[in-house]
Amino acid sequence: MLAGGLVLGVGAAITLAAWNDSEFATGIFAGGGFGIEGSTDGTAFTEHPTEAAAAPLTFAVEADNLAPEEPVYAGFAVQLTAASTYAGTVDITASSGAAIASSLSYSVVETTTFGCDATSFAAGDPLVTDAATTSSTAADIFTLGAVTTPVFLCFEVTPSATLPQSSPSGTVLWEFAAESTTPLP
């Protein structure tokens, strides 16, 4: 009987045995990067992250000697920084508290090369048309889809027919606000 119980006990232990195997996986995580930078000459790009560090646009004709309905032009370029890993869309917001701003409107076109005058403006693709310089936002007006590939912009600022003579000078600020969209390839 003891022998029979021993055989039964060994048989039960063998039946309880099973195969075991495991599989593991890991993931490595890091944050992506996103940033934009601008240029007033189309070649030297740097970040202008605050109002105090804004890039001064250079108008082809003196913007401090305006005449009614005689536009002035300036070029600007925007691109993703080299460290960006995402594409983005860009809004432009204009703002000014200067008295002269109520007599000004602006338009923006995208051009194929850097530079801005009446001819390149007329040939450009319209992005913003006759917007107020006192306060206006144009949303998602262009896309940045590759690092260090600039979008060339041409600004036209037009004084109204009612521009007062000897208007005091004032500053208009344009903010280029970019928002990341999709990962870059």
- What's the pLDDT at 87? 98
Q: Give the side-chain half-sphere CA count within 13 A for 184.
A: 21
Taking the C-alpha atoms of residue 108 and residue 134, their distance in angstroms, rounded to an integer, is: 16
Taking the C-alpha atoms of residue 14 and residue 63, their distance in angstroms, rounded to an integer, is: 94
What pLDDT digit, counting tens, does each position of 127-141 carry? 999 999 999 999 999
- What's the pLDDT at 11? 52
- What's the pLDDT at 7? 53
User: Is residue 139 within 8 Å of 65, Cβ to Cβ?
Assistant: no
pLDDT at 122 over 60: yes
| pTM assigned to the model | 0.85
Q: What does the pLDDT average to over 128-155? A: 96
Taking the C-alpha atoms of residue 115 and residue 77, their distance in angstroms, rounded to an integer, is: 9
Residue among 134, 128, 142 at smallest CA distance from 179: 142
User: Is residue 104 within 8 Å of 162, Cβ to Cβ?
Assistant: no
Q: Residue 158 is inside which H or E element, if any?
A: strand 151-159
Q: Which domains does the chain have, with CATH numbers?
A: 33-51+70-183 (2.60.120)
Taking the C-alpha atoms of residue 50 and residue 115, their distance in angstroms, rounded to an integer, is: 24
User: Is residue 47 within 8 Å of 81, Cβ to Cβ?
Assistant: yes
- What's the pLDDT at 166? 92
Q: What does the pLDDT average to over 157-171? A: 94
- What's the pLDDT at 72? 97
What pLDDT digit, counting tens, does each position of 47-106 carry? 999 999 999 999 877 788 999 999 999 999 999 999 999 999 999 999 999 999 999 999
Query: How far apart are the two ends of the chain, measured CA to CA in Å?
Result: 76
Taking the C-alpha atoms of residue 133 and residue 106, their distance in angstroms, rounded to an integer, is: 7
